[in-house]
Structure 1
Amino acid sequence: MNSFFAMMSRMKYIDRWALMRNSRQENLSEHSLEVSMIAHALAVIGNTCLGKELDAQKAAVFGMYHDATEIITGDMPTPVKYYNSRIKDSYKDIEHQASRTLLSMLPERMQDAYLEIFEKKEEDAYLWKLVKAADKLSAYIKCIEEEQAGNREFISAREMALNHIRSMKLPETELFLEYFIDAYGKNLDELTGGEA
Protein backbone atom coordinates (compact mmCIF):
# COMPACT_ATOMS: atom_id res chain seq x y z
CA MET A 1 0.00 0.00 0.00
CA ASN A 2 1.38 3.42 -1.00
CA SER A 3 0.12 5.69 1.76
CA PHE A 4 2.56 8.64 1.44
CA PHE A 5 0.04 11.22 0.24
CA ALA A 6 -2.68 10.00 2.57
CA MET A 7 -0.16 10.60 5.38
CA MET A 8 0.69 14.07 4.01
CA SER A 9 -3.00 14.96 4.07
CA ARG A 10 -2.93 14.36 7.83
CA MET A 11 -0.83 17.51 8.34
CA LYS A 12 -4.10 19.32 8.91
CA TYR A 13 -4.60 17.36 12.15
CA ILE A 14 -1.31 18.46 13.73
CA ASP A 15 -1.84 21.64 15.74
CA ARG A 16 1.06 23.99 16.35
CA TRP A 17 1.90 26.19 19.37
CA ALA A 18 0.63 23.58 21.83
CA LEU A 19 1.98 25.36 24.92
CA MET A 20 0.45 28.73 24.00
CA ARG A 21 -3.10 30.06 24.24
CA ASN A 22 -4.08 30.80 20.64
CA SER A 23 -6.81 33.17 19.47
CA ARG A 24 -6.83 31.11 16.26
CA GLN A 25 -5.37 27.62 16.08
CA GLU A 26 -2.78 26.98 13.35
CA ASN A 27 -2.24 23.53 11.89
CA LEU A 28 0.83 22.05 10.22
CA SER A 29 -0.73 22.11 6.76
CA GLU A 30 -1.33 25.88 6.94
CA HIS A 31 2.12 26.47 8.35
CA SER A 32 3.80 24.38 5.65
CA LEU A 33 2.06 26.30 2.87
CA GLU A 34 3.13 29.62 4.38
CA VAL A 35 6.74 28.45 4.84
CA SER A 36 6.73 27.19 1.24
CA MET A 37 5.53 30.55 -0.10
CA ILE A 38 8.01 32.52 2.02
CA ALA A 39 10.95 30.23 1.14
CA HIS A 40 10.07 30.71 -2.55
CA ALA A 41 9.89 34.49 -2.00
CA LEU A 42 13.28 34.53 -0.25
CA ALA A 43 14.89 32.70 -3.17
CA VAL A 44 13.22 35.09 -5.64
CA ILE A 45 14.51 38.04 -3.57
CA GLY A 46 17.97 36.50 -3.70
CA ASN A 47 17.76 36.20 -7.48
CA THR A 48 16.12 39.52 -8.35
CA CYS A 49 17.63 41.81 -5.72
CA LEU A 50 20.95 40.19 -4.83
CA GLY A 51 22.11 38.71 -8.15
CA LYS A 52 22.00 35.09 -6.96
CA GLU A 53 20.97 32.01 -8.92
CA LEU A 54 18.81 30.10 -6.47
CA ASP A 55 16.27 27.43 -7.34
CA ALA A 56 13.12 29.08 -6.01
CA GLN A 57 10.89 26.14 -6.95
CA LYS A 58 13.12 23.74 -5.03
CA ALA A 59 13.04 26.09 -2.01
CA ALA A 60 9.24 26.04 -2.18
CA VAL A 61 9.12 22.24 -2.27
CA PHE A 62 11.56 22.00 0.64
CA GLY A 63 9.34 24.41 2.58
CA MET A 64 6.23 22.40 1.77
CA TYR A 65 7.71 19.25 3.35
CA HIS A 66 10.04 20.79 5.97
CA ASP A 67 7.97 19.59 8.95
CA ALA A 68 6.36 16.54 7.33
CA THR A 69 7.92 14.20 9.91
CA GLU A 70 5.68 15.85 12.53
CA ILE A 71 2.83 13.77 11.11
CA ILE A 72 4.56 10.91 12.94
CA THR A 73 6.35 12.72 15.77
CA GLY A 74 3.84 15.46 16.51
CA ASP A 75 4.89 19.08 17.00
CA MET A 76 7.34 19.14 19.87
CA PRO A 77 7.43 22.62 21.46
CA THR A 78 10.70 24.46 20.77
CA PRO A 79 11.63 24.93 24.46
CA VAL A 80 11.42 21.16 24.94
CA LYS A 81 13.11 20.21 21.65
CA TYR A 82 16.15 22.39 22.39
CA TYR A 83 16.22 22.01 26.18
CA ASN A 84 19.62 20.29 26.06
CA SER A 85 21.89 18.62 23.51
CA ARG A 86 20.79 15.11 24.51
CA ILE A 87 17.12 15.85 23.82
CA LYS A 88 18.01 17.72 20.62
CA ASP A 89 20.12 14.82 19.30
CA SER A 90 17.50 12.24 20.27
CA TYR A 91 14.80 14.24 18.53
CA LYS A 92 16.96 14.47 15.37
CA ASP A 93 17.27 10.66 15.41
CA ILE A 94 13.50 10.33 15.79
CA GLU A 95 12.96 12.77 12.89
CA HIS A 96 15.38 10.78 10.75
CA GLN A 97 13.50 7.55 11.46
CA ALA A 98 10.19 9.29 10.73
CA SER A 99 11.52 10.54 7.38
CA ARG A 100 12.63 7.00 6.45
CA THR A 101 9.17 5.73 7.38
CA LEU A 102 7.49 8.35 5.18
CA LEU A 103 9.80 7.59 2.24
CA SER A 104 8.96 3.89 2.55
CA MET A 105 5.31 4.78 1.93
CA LEU A 106 6.13 5.75 -1.66
CA PRO A 107 6.46 3.29 -4.54
CA GLU A 108 10.12 2.29 -4.73
CA ARG A 109 10.56 3.95 -8.14
CA MET A 110 9.54 7.33 -6.67
CA GLN A 111 11.62 7.24 -3.50
CA ASP A 112 14.82 8.71 -4.98
CA ALA A 113 12.90 11.76 -6.24
CA TYR A 114 11.76 12.50 -2.67
CA LEU A 115 15.00 11.55 -0.97
CA GLU A 116 16.54 15.03 -1.34
CA ILE A 117 13.51 16.49 0.44
CA PHE A 118 13.97 14.30 3.49
CA GLU A 119 17.75 13.75 3.43
CA LYS A 120 19.35 17.19 3.10
CA LYS A 121 22.18 17.40 0.57
CA GLU A 122 25.19 19.70 1.08
CA GLU A 123 24.60 21.31 -2.32
CA ASP A 124 21.18 22.50 -1.07
CA ALA A 125 22.50 23.89 2.22
CA TYR A 126 21.72 27.53 1.37
CA LEU A 127 18.19 26.70 0.26
CA TRP A 128 17.64 24.88 3.55
CA LYS A 129 18.90 28.00 5.36
CA LEU A 130 16.25 29.98 3.52
CA VAL A 131 13.62 27.41 4.54
CA LYS A 132 14.72 27.73 8.18
CA ALA A 133 14.46 31.51 7.84
CA ALA A 134 11.01 31.13 6.26
CA ASP A 135 9.99 28.93 9.20
CA LYS A 136 11.07 31.65 11.64
CA LEU A 137 9.35 34.34 9.56
CA SER A 138 6.17 32.27 9.65
CA ALA A 139 6.45 32.07 13.45
CA TYR A 140 7.03 35.82 13.61
CA ILE A 141 3.95 36.44 11.45
CA LYS A 142 1.88 34.16 13.71
CA CYS A 143 3.00 36.26 16.69
CA ILE A 144 2.02 39.49 14.91
CA GLU A 145 -1.42 38.06 14.09
CA GLU A 146 -1.97 36.90 17.67
CA GLU A 147 -1.00 40.31 19.05
CA GLN A 148 -3.33 41.98 16.53
CA ALA A 149 -6.10 39.79 17.97
CA GLY A 150 -5.30 41.12 21.45
CA ASN A 151 -3.47 38.00 22.63
CA ARG A 152 -0.49 39.05 24.77
CA GLU A 153 0.65 35.41 25.06
CA PHE A 154 2.89 35.80 22.00
CA ILE A 155 4.79 39.00 22.92
CA SER A 156 8.02 37.34 24.04
CA ALA A 157 7.76 34.71 21.28
CA ARG A 158 7.58 37.55 18.74
CA GLU A 159 10.75 39.12 20.11
CA MET A 160 12.57 35.77 20.17
CA ALA A 161 11.51 34.97 16.59
CA LEU A 162 12.71 38.36 15.31
CA ASN A 163 16.03 38.00 17.18
CA HIS A 164 16.49 34.55 15.63
CA ILE A 165 15.72 35.90 12.14
CA ARG A 166 18.20 38.74 12.56
CA SER A 167 20.87 36.41 13.98
CA MET A 168 20.76 34.37 10.77
CA LYS A 169 22.22 37.39 8.92
CA LEU A 170 20.58 36.52 5.62
CA PRO A 171 20.11 39.51 3.29
CA GLU A 172 17.01 37.86 1.83
CA THR A 173 15.24 37.91 5.20
CA GLU A 174 16.17 41.53 5.84
CA LEU A 175 14.65 42.49 2.49
CA PHE A 176 11.53 40.38 3.19
CA LEU A 177 11.11 42.22 6.48
CA GLU A 178 11.62 45.57 4.74
CA TYR A 179 9.29 44.87 1.82
CA PHE A 180 6.49 42.78 3.32
CA ILE A 181 6.27 42.50 7.10
CA ASP A 182 4.41 45.77 7.82
CA ALA A 183 1.43 44.58 5.77
CA TYR A 184 0.77 41.80 8.29
CA GLY A 185 -0.48 44.36 10.81
CA LYS A 186 -3.09 45.78 8.42
CA ASN A 187 -6.80 44.97 8.16
CA LEU A 188 -8.43 43.90 4.90
CA ASP A 189 -9.53 47.43 3.91
CA GLU A 190 -6.01 48.72 4.48
CA LEU A 191 -4.51 45.88 2.46
CA THR A 192 -6.83 46.39 -0.49
CA GLY A 193 -7.18 50.18 -0.36
CA GLY A 194 -10.82 49.77 0.71
CA GLU A 195 -11.75 47.85 -2.45
CA ALA A 196 -12.49 44.44 -0.93
Structure 2
Amino acid sequence: MQKLLSEIRSCELCKAHLPLGPNPIVTADPASKIVIIGQAPGIKVHKTGVPWDDPSGKQLRKWLGVSDRDFYDPTKVALIPMGFCYPGKGKSGDLPPRPECAPLWHKPLLSKMPNVELVVVIGMYAQKYYLGSEAKRTLTETVGAYKTYLPDFFPLPHPSPRNRFWLTKNPWFEETVIPELQHRVSKLV
Protein backbone atom coordinates (compact mmCIF):
# COMPACT_ATOMS: atom_id res chain seq x y z
CA MET A 1 0.00 0.00 0.00
CA GLN A 2 2.75 2.49 0.89
CA LYS A 3 4.41 2.01 -2.49
CA LEU A 4 1.12 2.69 -4.27
CA LEU A 5 0.40 5.79 -2.14
CA SER A 6 3.90 7.05 -2.89
CA GLU A 7 3.30 6.56 -6.64
CA ILE A 8 0.00 8.45 -6.43
CA ARG A 9 1.52 11.30 -4.44
CA SER A 10 4.27 11.72 -7.02
CA CYS A 11 1.92 11.50 -10.04
CA GLU A 12 2.26 14.29 -12.59
CA LEU A 13 0.03 12.83 -15.32
CA CYS A 14 -2.12 15.93 -15.77
CA LYS A 15 0.46 18.51 -14.65
CA ALA A 16 -0.14 20.64 -17.77
CA HIS A 17 -3.82 21.07 -16.79
CA LEU A 18 -3.29 22.07 -13.15
CA PRO A 19 -2.95 25.82 -12.51
CA LEU A 20 -1.17 25.31 -9.17
CA GLY A 21 0.72 22.19 -10.24
CA PRO A 22 0.26 18.64 -8.95
CA ASN A 23 -0.21 17.90 -5.26
CA PRO A 24 -2.14 14.61 -5.07
CA ILE A 25 -4.09 14.32 -1.81
CA VAL A 26 -5.07 10.84 -0.58
CA THR A 27 -5.07 8.77 2.62
CA ALA A 28 -5.70 5.05 2.82
CA ASP A 29 -4.65 1.97 4.74
CA PRO A 30 -5.20 -1.77 4.23
CA ALA A 31 -7.29 -1.74 7.45
CA SER A 32 -9.67 1.04 6.26
CA LYS A 33 -13.33 0.13 6.80
CA ILE A 34 -14.90 3.25 5.30
CA VAL A 35 -13.89 4.91 2.05
CA ILE A 36 -14.95 8.49 1.36
CA ILE A 37 -14.91 9.24 -2.37
CA GLY A 38 -15.11 12.99 -2.85
CA GLN A 39 -14.65 15.25 -5.86
CA ALA A 40 -11.25 16.97 -5.78
CA PRO A 41 -9.28 19.00 -3.26
CA GLY A 42 -10.11 22.69 -3.03
CA ILE A 43 -7.46 25.38 -2.94
CA LYS A 44 -7.15 25.32 0.88
CA VAL A 45 -6.63 21.55 0.90
CA HIS A 46 -4.12 21.91 -1.95
CA LYS A 47 -2.13 24.32 0.24
CA THR A 48 -2.32 22.33 3.51
CA GLY A 49 -2.11 18.84 2.02
CA VAL A 50 -4.78 17.70 4.50
CA PRO A 51 -7.89 16.19 2.89
CA TRP A 52 -11.22 17.81 3.76
CA ASP A 53 -9.40 20.52 5.78
CA ASP A 54 -12.02 23.15 4.98
CA PRO A 55 -15.64 24.07 5.79
CA SER A 56 -16.88 21.20 3.58
CA GLY A 57 -14.82 18.76 5.63
CA LYS A 58 -16.15 20.15 8.88
CA GLN A 59 -19.72 19.64 7.63
CA LEU A 60 -18.89 16.15 6.36
CA ARG A 61 -17.51 15.09 9.74
CA LYS A 62 -20.69 16.45 11.36
CA TRP A 63 -22.85 14.45 8.93
CA LEU A 64 -20.81 11.30 9.60
CA GLY A 65 -20.92 11.89 13.36
CA VAL A 66 -17.17 11.32 13.73
CA SER A 67 -14.38 13.15 15.50
CA ASP A 68 -11.44 14.63 13.62
CA ARG A 69 -9.32 11.89 15.21
CA ASP A 70 -11.43 9.06 13.75
CA PHE A 71 -11.93 10.81 10.40
CA TYR A 72 -8.18 11.27 9.90
CA ASP A 73 -7.26 7.77 11.07
CA PRO A 74 -6.63 5.90 7.78
CA THR A 75 -7.05 2.54 9.53
CA LYS A 76 -10.70 3.60 9.92
CA VAL A 77 -11.39 5.99 7.03
CA ALA A 78 -9.71 6.23 3.61
CA LEU A 79 -10.08 9.60 1.86
CA ILE A 80 -9.92 9.20 -1.91
CA PRO A 81 -11.03 11.95 -4.29
CA MET A 82 -12.16 11.43 -7.87
CA GLY A 83 -9.41 13.85 -8.89
CA PHE A 84 -6.40 13.87 -6.57
CA CYS A 85 -5.25 17.43 -7.30
CA TYR A 86 -6.85 20.86 -7.18
CA PRO A 87 -8.29 21.30 -10.70
CA GLY A 88 -8.48 25.10 -10.73
CA LYS A 89 -11.22 27.69 -10.56
CA GLY A 90 -14.23 27.67 -12.88
CA LYS A 91 -17.01 30.20 -13.48
CA SER A 92 -19.06 29.09 -10.48
CA GLY A 93 -16.68 27.28 -8.15
CA ASP A 94 -13.86 24.84 -8.75
CA LEU A 95 -13.49 22.99 -12.03
CA PRO A 96 -14.59 19.34 -12.18
CA PRO A 97 -12.13 16.69 -11.00
CA ARG A 98 -9.56 15.69 -13.60
CA PRO A 99 -10.85 12.58 -15.42
CA GLU A 100 -7.51 10.72 -15.40
CA CYS A 101 -7.24 9.93 -11.69
CA ALA A 102 -10.12 7.60 -10.87
CA PRO A 103 -9.58 5.16 -13.78
CA LEU A 104 -5.84 5.08 -13.08
CA TRP A 105 -5.71 4.87 -9.29
CA HIS A 106 -9.03 3.86 -7.68
CA LYS A 107 -9.10 0.16 -8.55
CA PRO A 108 -5.49 -0.47 -7.41
CA LEU A 109 -6.17 1.43 -4.16
CA LEU A 110 -9.43 -0.33 -3.38
CA SER A 111 -7.90 -3.73 -4.15
CA LYS A 112 -5.46 -3.14 -1.27
CA MET A 113 -8.26 -2.46 1.24
CA PRO A 114 -9.97 -5.82 1.90
CA ASN A 115 -11.78 -4.62 5.03
CA VAL A 116 -13.90 -1.90 3.41
CA GLU A 117 -17.53 -2.19 4.47
CA LEU A 118 -18.91 1.16 3.29
CA VAL A 119 -18.06 3.50 0.41
CA VAL A 120 -19.50 7.00 0.76
CA VAL A 121 -19.84 8.57 -2.69
CA ILE A 122 -20.06 12.35 -2.48
CA GLY A 123 -21.43 14.40 -5.34
CA MET A 124 -22.43 13.60 -8.89
CA TYR A 125 -18.96 12.76 -10.22
CA ALA A 126 -18.39 10.01 -7.64
CA GLN A 127 -21.96 8.77 -7.91
CA LYS A 128 -21.92 8.50 -11.70
CA TYR A 129 -18.55 6.73 -11.60
CA TYR A 130 -19.40 4.22 -8.86
CA LEU A 131 -23.15 3.75 -9.27
CA GLY A 132 -23.08 3.90 -13.07
CA SER A 133 -26.46 3.23 -14.64
CA GLU A 134 -27.91 2.66 -11.16
CA ALA A 135 -27.49 6.37 -10.37
CA LYS A 136 -30.73 8.27 -10.73
CA ARG A 137 -31.34 11.17 -13.09
CA THR A 138 -30.40 13.79 -10.47
CA LEU A 139 -28.24 13.92 -7.38
CA THR A 140 -31.35 14.60 -5.28
CA GLU A 141 -33.02 11.45 -6.60
CA THR A 142 -29.86 9.38 -6.05
CA VAL A 143 -29.43 10.59 -2.46
CA GLY A 144 -33.16 10.07 -1.83
CA ALA A 145 -32.81 6.46 -3.00
CA TYR A 146 -29.77 5.82 -0.79
CA LYS A 147 -31.24 2.55 0.56
CA THR A 148 -31.05 1.14 -2.97
CA TYR A 149 -27.25 1.25 -2.85
CA LEU A 150 -26.73 -0.16 0.65
CA PRO A 151 -24.84 -1.92 2.09
CA ASP A 152 -21.98 -1.13 -0.32
CA PHE A 153 -22.47 2.53 -1.23
CA PHE A 154 -23.93 5.54 0.54
CA PRO A 155 -24.54 8.56 -1.74
CA LEU A 156 -24.36 12.09 -0.32
CA PRO A 157 -24.54 15.60 -1.73
CA HIS A 158 -21.38 17.66 -1.46
CA PRO A 159 -21.15 19.14 2.05
CA SER A 160 -20.05 22.53 0.71
CA PRO A 161 -21.50 25.67 2.31
CA ARG A 162 -22.61 26.49 -1.25
CA ASN A 163 -25.20 23.71 -0.89
CA ARG A 164 -27.16 25.46 1.87
CA PHE A 165 -30.02 26.07 -0.56
CA TRP A 166 -30.18 22.35 -1.42
CA LEU A 167 -30.23 21.42 2.28
CA THR A 168 -33.00 23.95 2.98
CA LYS A 169 -35.03 22.66 0.04
CA ASN A 170 -34.55 19.00 1.07
CA PRO A 171 -35.07 18.80 4.84
CA TRP A 172 -35.66 15.03 4.55
CA PHE A 173 -31.90 14.64 4.03
CA GLU A 174 -30.91 15.73 7.54
CA GLU A 175 -34.04 14.19 9.10
CA THR A 176 -33.80 10.73 7.50
CA VAL A 177 -30.53 10.15 5.67
CA ILE A 178 -28.05 11.58 8.20
CA PRO A 179 -29.27 9.42 11.13
CA GLU A 180 -28.92 6.30 8.96
CA LEU A 181 -25.45 7.36 7.84
CA GLN A 182 -24.34 8.06 11.42
CA HIS A 183 -25.69 4.72 12.59
CA ARG A 184 -23.74 2.82 9.93
CA VAL A 185 -20.56 4.83 10.43
CA SER A 186 -20.63 4.47 14.23
CA LYS A 187 -20.60 0.67 13.88
CA LEU A 188 -17.44 0.85 11.75
CA VAL A 189 -15.30 3.40 13.63
TM-score in same-fold range (> 0.5) = no
TM (normalized to structure 1)? 0.35
> Which structure carries more strand by proportion?
2
Higher helix share: 1
Compute the TM-score of the two structures, normalised by the length of structure 2: 0.36
Give 1 or 2 for the bigger CA radius of gyration: 1
